[in-house]
Amino acid sequence: MEIHGTAAAELRAARLLGRRVGVLEHRFVSIPDLKEARDIEGSRWLSGEEVPATYIPMKNAVFYSMAAAFAEERGSHRLVGGHNLDDRRAFEDTGEAFFSSLEKALLASSPRLRMNGLKIVRPLRDKSKAEVVALAARIRVPLELTWSCHRAGEAHCWRCDGCASRVKAFEGAGVEDPLRAGNG
């Protein structure tokens, strides 16, 4: 199945980054029926506020359930998420209440996960995006391989919310973005 749009760029970046850092097994699964809020008619929170365009209903419940299935298969005892403090401010499914309940549900669903003492860990949960960028630079993450753009293409557009957030995070961290170096 050929992937188009933003997902293609995200997958390309994930593959490159995974190879660079030595990921042993990198599985990609297709979930074609999940839609972003911008593709769902009447997307508003109960409060009446607009849902962020990149919100996908129940995304983290789906993704972590799939990760738990993989963990059960492999006998793993940890699921690691990269959600940060800024994510928690925008999306309820990146907060403490969600993950506490999800971990309980996953353990209730699998004797093997219980036996292995499965835990969901989120080491970046109390760090802003700028702090995450600063940490990534300090530990030499190949930031030139990362993807932040919410639009399809071979390169970042530097106009969408994802790109604006990236620029702000790098500036806040005082780190030069290798994708923008020399390009203004």
Q: 34-64 pLDDT, tens per residue?
A: 766 555 555 555 455 666 667 777 889 999 9
**Can you tell me the distance from the alpha carbon of 34 to that of 30, in angstroms, rounded to the nearest whole number?**
10
Query: Around Cβ 176, how many Cβ atoms within 10 Å?
Result: 13
Identify the weakest region by mean pLDDT among 53-67, 119-133, 140-154. 53-67
Q: What is the mean predicted confidence (pLDDT) over 18-35?
A: 82
What crossing angle do the helices spanning 129-138 and 161-173 adopt, rounded to 10°? Answer: 60
**Closest by alpha carbon to 154, among 13, 39, 15?**
13
What is the rounded radius of gyration, in angstroms, for the C-alpha atoms of the chain? 17
pLDDT confidence of residue 1: 47
Domain 6-22+54-173: which topology? Rossmann fold (3.40.50)
Does the reported pTM lie above 0.75? yes
Q: What is the mean predicted confidence (pLDDT) over 22-28?
A: 85
Q: Do the Cβ atoms of 84 and 129 come closer than 8 Å?
A: yes
**Closest by alpha carbon to 32, among 69, 70, 3?**
3
